[in-house]
Amino acid sequence: MKFLSSFLLAALLPTPLLAQWKIEDQSPAQSPDSPLIFERKVISRPGASRFFSTRRIDLVWFNNADFTFKVIDNGGGDSTTYPTLAAAMKAHHCLAGSNGGFFLKDFAPSGLMIAGGKSTGSFGSGGLLSGVLLSSGNRNPYILRRAEYSSSKYKPTDLIQTGPFLVDQGATVRGLSPKNARRRTFVLHDGGKMFAIGLSDSFTLAELGEILADPNFSPGRKIHRALNLDGGTSSGFYVDRGSAAEAINVEPFKRVRNFIGVVPRNP
């Protein structure tokens, strides 16, 4: 009976309380000449050893009135276009960026990729292709469900398929895997004008979805949608923080097929 009561109590508790995540904002002072907003969150929870296990999530936010997403093709087959993530960002005048979507063994993109108006691959299905990140013909950024996407409606110049969704409508997506904790990259939308690219230390998909949906994660910008990118050894993250601070540059451990950049809408 005690077991049943405890089980019912656990089922009624909100997810963040069950997880006991502690979220601390350690964002540095912002450079006055940087148009982007950099945030650093330190996440911890009690472990089996009764010590807190601390991990980090870095974010860079931008306003869609001023910036949009750019997909950068890094080449397929035996050739690669850019030696590093940082080189790709600088070549395309991106102020921030990360690795992009999933790819196959021959470096063909998994699903559809549109980079600078050129399409490669085909629109696919499956959990790892359940989301669409794009910049429209009007240079508006979007994070969409696959079923919401229409090429005739959005007329994308830049697009990747990726997934799964971690957060939708402000809530953690059900059915995310509780296994295989690893470094992850992702994109966010607050439901209004603000979008972000993020890099996390090792979490499972279920853990990261839970944390991003926690109201304490970003009190000033509630996470409306969060979409997973190709993580693990593909994870990379770059932020130009202006002249007053050194750039943040985390390079992928392996070659990737594409990158996502943040570029001015009206350069």
Q: What are the tens digits of pLDDT across the range 43-77?
A: 998 764 555 579 999 999 999 999 999 999 999 98
C-alpha torsion angle, residues 37, 240, 138, 259 (rounded to 10): -120
How far apart (Å, rounded) are the C-alpha atoms in residues 9 and 12? Answer: 5
Q: Report d(CA 18, CA 1) in Å as an integer.
A: 21
Six-digit token string for 56: 């980090």
Q: Which domain holds residue 25?
A: 2-264
The bridge status of strand 141-145 relative to strand 131-135 is antiparallel
How many structural domains comprise the chain? 1
- The tens digit of pLDDT for each residue in 203-225 reads 999 999 999 999 999 988 899 99
Q: Mean of the pLDDT values across residues 8-27?
A: 63
* Angstrom distance (rounded) from CA 40 to CA 94: 20
**Percentage with pLDDT > 70 across the chain:** 90
What pTM did the predictor assign? 0.90
d(CA 116, CA 135): 10
Q: What pLDDT does residue 248 have?
A: 94
